[in-house]
């Protein structure tokens, strides 16, 4: 097992270094820019009569906006995977960062379905949905940033050796999660080629993430059985479930559950910090 953890740790570090390098960031930006330009040119070719749209999605004039934002979300999910070994708290907050971007992407998606901006009778529903998703994303943005400022990290391991072992285990989980993400993406591409529509499986990824979070809770029990630690780790897994539930709901309900989940994480952080401070004072 130690050998597996050692090999997976080296592989994780190598992928992490490449992904967060200046070279990697430039390529991500280039891909986003290229996808937007390509989508715009494709639509111009359609309205000029040079091409026939292969799917109803391409009939909308602003679909080129949705494409790079979808790719941006995919890249953010990669960053989310790499945040897992750092800290459970930071990883969970990163999940809500992605949720806020999903809401913003949904706003642009609603905008891409507007054929003409001058007819309110046809556009009232997508415009209201745009506003709702935008407000939901803004609220989660504020809650996540406030949570980051309040987070304090207390090691649950007793020594450096245990800490390195815990981190190595989470790196292995991150690689397995990355493999699951690649498989989901491959299935989405197959669906695209077979049906002509792209099926974004964010909910499938978050379902796998729930099991991953619960597994981390169980692994953490190897290093600490303190009530505060067990509750905190379990609560973070519950917060991930809130995100997954929000994907299955209609617009307003989805925003309400997602925002409530971010509030839950903030309250968890405040409460955990308070009792840790009280416990520290009582020991002194």
- Can you tell me the distance from the alpha carbon of 186 to that of 26, in angstroms, rounded to the nearest whole number? 24
Q: In this predicted model, what pLDDT tens digit does every residue of 183-241 receive, in sequence order?
A: 887 787 677 666 656 566 777 888 888 888 899 889 888 888 888 889 999 999 999 99
Dihedrals φ, ψ of 197, to 5°? -125, 150
Residue 84: DSSP 8-state: T
Contacts for 103 with CB less than 8 Å, ≥ 6 apart: 133, 134, 136, 137, 140, 255, 258
Condensed to tens digits (0 to 9), the pLDDT of residues 5-55 reads 888 889 999 988 888 888 888 898 899 899 889 888 887 887 787 877 666
For the stretch 72-91, pLDDT in tens is 888 888 888 888 888 888 88
CA proximity to 271, closest of 144, 99, 141, 147: 147
| Buried-state track 248-283, b at ≥16 Cβ within 10 A, e below 16 | eeebeebbebbbebbebbbebbeebeeeeeeeeeee
Given a cut of 50, whether residue 282 has pLDDT beyond it is: no
Contact 270, 277 (CB under 8 A): no
SS3 at position 182? helix
Give me the residue label for tokens 């992904």.
Answer: 19
Q: Which two tokens stand for residue 90?
A: 């930071």
Integer Cα distance of 179 and 156 in angstroms: 28
Distance CA 73, CA 91 (A): 16
Report pLDDT for 77. Answer: 85
Reading the block at residue 185, the tokens are 């993406």
Which residue in 268, 234, 269, 261 sits closest to 245, CA to CA? 261
- As to burial, measured by CB atoms within 10 angstroms (0-12 exposed, 13-18 middle, 19+ buried), residue 48 is exposed
DSSP assignments along 95-120, one per residue: HHHHHHHHHHHHHHHHHHT-S-TT-H
pTM, entire model: 0.84
Mean pLDDT of 156-184: 87
Residue 105 scores a pLDDT above 80: yes
Pair of tokens at residue 192: 């695209």
pLDDT given for residue 266 in this prediction: 96
DSSP designation for 59: G
């Amino acid at each position: 097992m130690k050998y597996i953890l050692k090999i997976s740790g080296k592989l994780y570090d190598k992928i992490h270094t490449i992904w967060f390098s200046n070279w990697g960031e430039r390529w991500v930006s280039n891909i986003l820019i290229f996808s937007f330009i390509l989508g715009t040119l494709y639509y111009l070719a359609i309205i000029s009569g040079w091409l026939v749209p292969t799917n109803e999605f391409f009939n909308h004039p602003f679909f080129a906006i949705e494409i790079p934002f979808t790719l941006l979300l995919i890249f953010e999910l990669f960053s989310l995977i790499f945040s897992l070994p750092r800290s459970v708290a930071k990883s969970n907050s990163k999940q809500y960062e992605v949720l806020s971007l999903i809401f913003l992407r949904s706003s642009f998606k609603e905008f891409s379905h507007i054929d003409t901006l001058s007819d309110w009778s046809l556009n009232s529903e997508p415009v209201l949905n745009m506003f709702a998703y935008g407000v939901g994303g803004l609220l989660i943005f504020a809650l996540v940033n406030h949570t980051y400022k309040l987070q304090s990290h207390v090691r649950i391991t007793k020594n450096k050796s245990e800490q390195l072992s815990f981190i190595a285990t989470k790196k292995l989980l991150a690689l397995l999660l990355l493999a699951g993400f690649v498989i989901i993406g491959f299935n989405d591409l197959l669906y695209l080629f077979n049906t002509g529509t792209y099926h974004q499986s964010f909910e499938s990824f978050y379902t796998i993430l729930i099991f991953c979070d619960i597994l981390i809770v169980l692994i953490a029990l190897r290093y600490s059985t303190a009530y505060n630690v067990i509750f905190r780790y379990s609560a973070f897994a519950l917060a991930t479930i809130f995100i997954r539930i929000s994907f299955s709901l209609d617009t307003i309900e989805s925003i309400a559950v997602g925002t409530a989940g971010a509030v839950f994480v903030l309250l968890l952080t405040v409460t955990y910090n308070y009792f840790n401070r009280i416990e520290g004072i009582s020991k002194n």
